Homo-oligomer: A and B are copies of this chain.
Amino acid sequence: MKKIINQPEDYIKEMLEGIYTAHSDKLAYVEDDMHCLVKRKRKQGKVGIATGGGSGHLPLFLGYVGEGMADGCSVGDVFQSPGANQMLAVTRAVDTGAGVLYIYGNYNGDIFNFDMAAEMADFEHDIRVESVIAGEDVASAAPSKPGEKSTRRGVAGIFFVYKCAGAAAEAMLPLDEVKRIAQKAADNVRTMGVALTPCTVPRVGRPGFHIADDEMEIGMGIHGETGIRRGRLETADKITEEMLGKIIEDLPYVEGDEVAVLVNGLGATPLDEQYIVVRRADALLKEKGLKVHRYYVGEYATSLEMAGVSVSLLKVDEELKKYIDAPADTPFFIQK
């Protein structure tokens, strides 16, 4: 295990100490627990947006706490859900009377704990909580049938859900409206990724899986969950075509649709390669008659030091464009 760390069991504690040191002007924690991270300045009467999840994905999740995005985040250990009590503490801190929206990824541990936190917030503290779950990885499961719960994993596309919900809350819309807009973003985003190398959870000390020097795994999840196909490493163009093809046919995105595009590095992949993916994605989207409203490129949701990229599309209409284009200001994401 080749990492710049001290004791593996101190990894999250020390990372959080660094976060609060570097961003003390913007971030704070509540209940004397560094895992309960909140925005320093919280606007009264605004719907609170709370998120959370396992660590190891920076800037996801805590990096999106700031103006025009989330208000608080409960921070779990690497790839592990935070506890319901931590979520409750964040919920209480970010509620300013207008209720709280939870936005998190579709993982069983997170669902269990966020549901419990929502119940406690309601029964014990009279805080109304609604939830929107991001689950947009087309490689992780077939689309759910109407009325069924989706089993699709949430990955980088959650960024778009934060962006839209955060801007709607900043516009002082009521909880039901913020939830509707978040759900609309969640319903219209799709993601697929490819991994070239594994990552190592510090406490475990060895890579989560093995992959040969000439192989890639298409559709791998951000904790190293199995994808849809393992095969020889292909060119950037072919990888982009495979990912984008599956994404486009899934929603489906059709000719004339407008989309926001996120090309996301999983950790170890240079920005150069991400832009090579942008280049092919742009040509493909044009071929399909899709119009790109805006690109986001960089590391938005990572898997420690995993090499790979993911592509996310969000279908936007005039309403979502307004929220996508609104300003945001977090320690890890600023948009003017």
Contacts and interface: CB of A to CB of B under 8 A. Distances in A.
Contact of A55 (B3, B23, B272, B299): B272
A59 B271 contact: yes
Given A18-B275, A58-B270, A302-B270, A236 B5 contact: yes
| Residue among A194, A236, A307 with the highest chain B CB neighbour number at 10 A | A236
A58 B271 contact: yes
B239 A4 contact: yes
A237 B22 contact: no
12 contacts: A4-B239, A4-B276, A5-B236, A11-B272, A17-B275, A17-B279, A18-B278, A21-B295, A22-B263, A267-B268, A270-B302, A334-B336
Interface of A: 2-6, 11-12, 14-19, 21-23, 55-56, 58-59, 63, 194, 196-197, 213, 233, 235-237, 239, 263, 267-279, 282, 295, 297-299, 302, 304-305, 307-309, 329, 332, 334-336
Closest CB pairs A-B (n = 10): A18-B275, A268-B268, A18-B278, A22-B295, A58-B271, A18-B279, A334-B334, A4-B273, A17-B279, A15-B272
